[in-house]
Amino acid sequence: GNSVTQMEGPVTLSEEAFLTINCTYTATGYPSLFWYVQYPGEGLQLLLKATKADDKGSNKGFEATYRKETTSFHLEKGSVQVSDSAVYFCALSGGTSYGKLTFGQGTILTVHP
Amino acid sequence: DTAVSQTPKYLVTQMGNDKSIKCEQNLGHDTMYWYKQDSKKFLKIMFSYNNKELIINETVPNRFSPKSPDKAHLNLHINSLELGDSAVYFCASRATSGGDTGELFFGEGSRLTVL
């Protein structure tokens, strides 16, 4: 079955530091890949996505590239802000169009001033 | 206008009680989901309905019973609550017809605490 593995957290960074959160996946076929973000006390919201190999998703300064050869979708940001403190989830969707979204275990990011 | 709304946001109850959480979406989506998030933030799918039909039913105790009166609503009823049911329950919706982007839209969550 499908599975998603994220780097373990929590991750603590100083403002303006570079961020990488690793994500690798196992899936049959050609899944779509997503990063969701959950700010404190809120639900999840889509941060970015990529639907085919070599696609790059980007939003709010975050980027991730769909790498089929390494089955990875690592999240990066060049300079984090305190407001980026949140839980980040990598996810994939594949199979039937009614299929579930399979999430990684989430990575808690805390950014200090 | 909230796209996916859940009620109640907070629920504190005693072991053995029965409780319900309601979800409504005004996005015109045809598929809705319930996810459970534990204290370590891990998200696990519980159920999914497409046009009022149950299509995903993960290994969930049968004390949990979803009901979808129409495609805009998906409710979750829990019987005989146990301590381990304490979690945040998220409702989500998705458009699987007419161009499925795969994106789920989430509600703000319902935090259930069982004492």
pLDDT digits (tens, 9 = 90+) for A91-107: 998 755 456 788 999 99
The C-alpha of A51 sits at a distance from chain B's nearest C-alpha, in angstroms, of: 9
Q: What is the pLDDT of residues B52-70, one digit of tens each?
A: 888 888 878 999 999 999 9
Chain A residues whose C-beta sits inside 8 Å of any chain B C-beta? 32, 34, 38, 41-46, 49, 51, 87, 89, 93, 97-98, 100-103, 105-106, 108
pLDDT reported for residue B102: 76
Assigned token pair, B40: 């370590």
In Å, how far are A50, B22, B48, B90 from B72, measured between CA atoms?
28, 11, 13, 15
The C-alpha of A100 sits at a distance from chain B's nearest C-alpha, in angstroms, of: 8
Q: How far is it, in rounded angstroms, from Cα A9 to Cα A53?
A: 27
Q: What is the pLDDT of residues A3-57, one digit of tens each?
A: 899 988 899 999 999 999 999 999 888 889 999 999 998 899 999 999 989 999 9
Q: How far is it, in rounded angstroms, from Cα A70 to Cα A89?
A: 19
Do B74 and B34 meet the contact criterion of CB atoms below 8 Å apart? yes
Q: How far is it, in rounded angstroms, from Cα B115 to Cα B110?
A: 16
Q: Do B106 and A49 touch (CB under 8 A)?
A: no
Q: Write the burial class of residue A20 (CB in 10 Å: 0-12 exposed, 13-18 middle, 19+ buried).
A: exposed
Q: Do A43 and B103 touch (CB under 8 A)?
A: no
Q: What is the pLDDT of residues A42-90, one digit of tens each?
A: 899 999 999 989 999 999 999 999 999 999 999 999 999 999 999 999 9
